[in-house]
Amino acid sequence: MTASPLPVVELVAAVRRADSALGLLQATQDLAAAPHPDGAACLVEVLGFNNPGAAVAAVDGLVAIGEPAVETILSNIDGHNYGARAWAVRALAGIGDVRGLEVLEDALGQDIGPSVRRAAARGLGQLRLSALAGPQRQAVVSRCLAALLAGCGDGEWVVRYAVVVGLEALAQQLSPDAAGIALAPVREALEWLCRDPAEEAPVVQLRAALALQRLEAVDG
């Protein structure tokens, strides 16, 4: 993402004075390209507008800002605006900060949108655990694992596929220093997804088989 030459305050002002859908999209893209923590609040505001293109750009900008944007996202999640919350889940999943854990758990378990649950599943597998130590790391892993295992039974194949991706990513973070953390449930879940006769989407079974192969190669 190429940084904008304009000061962030001017980019924010441009977003707020945009008077058309196209104008808002372009201004948001410019702000997202900065990317600077001072623009995070404005990008979060854009998530609540009825402009999917601008929301995509805002998510990209928040992900590019990374950890400095997390508190702004969490403190401004609008429980009454489904669209804004859905986009916020995508942003938190992309950033991978453990402070987004509770939102991702709730989204995978309860959100009505398959695309939101899919993003949450991927995000739970990609939370950055390296900065956590000992009991805190194990507690976060246990919560991620519990949410992903529950997601194996999701009614949408795209979510189950994302759960496989999340389980593999989580397991890879635990190897080879997974002391005290059982990887058996991950393998059992992947094996079940491989062989479940009720699975209607062969691509889920194939992806689960691939995940198992990769994990076995790492362990071997």
Torsion 125-126-130-131 (CA) sign: negative
Specify the pTM. Answer: 0.89
| C-alpha distances out from residue 201 to 113, 160, 194, 219, Å | 19, 9, 11, 28
Alpha carbons 51 and 162: distance in angstroms, whole number? 26
Q: Residue 52's closest CA among 16, 87, 97?
A: 87
Q: What percentage of the chain exceeds 90 in pLDDT?
A: 76
> Which residue, chain included where needed, has tokens 């002391």?
179
Q: Residue 91's closest CA among 48, 27, 152, 38?
A: 48
- The two tokens of residue 70 are 């997390």
Q: What is the CA angle 217-179-210, rounded to 5? A: 25
Domain boundaries, the chain: 1-95, 97-220
Alpha carbons 29 and 36: distance in angstroms, whole number? 13
- The two tokens of residue 162 are 């994302």
Cβ-contact 34, 61 below 8 angstroms: yes
pLDDT tens series, the chain, 220 aa = 445 567 999 999 999 999 999 999 999 999 999 899 999 999 999 999 989 999 999 999 999 999 999 999 999 987 788 999 999 999 999 999 999 999 999 999 999 999 999 999 999 999 998 878 878 888 999 999 999 999 999 999 999 999 999 999 999 887 555 544 568 889 999 999 999 888 899 999 999 999 999 988 766 5
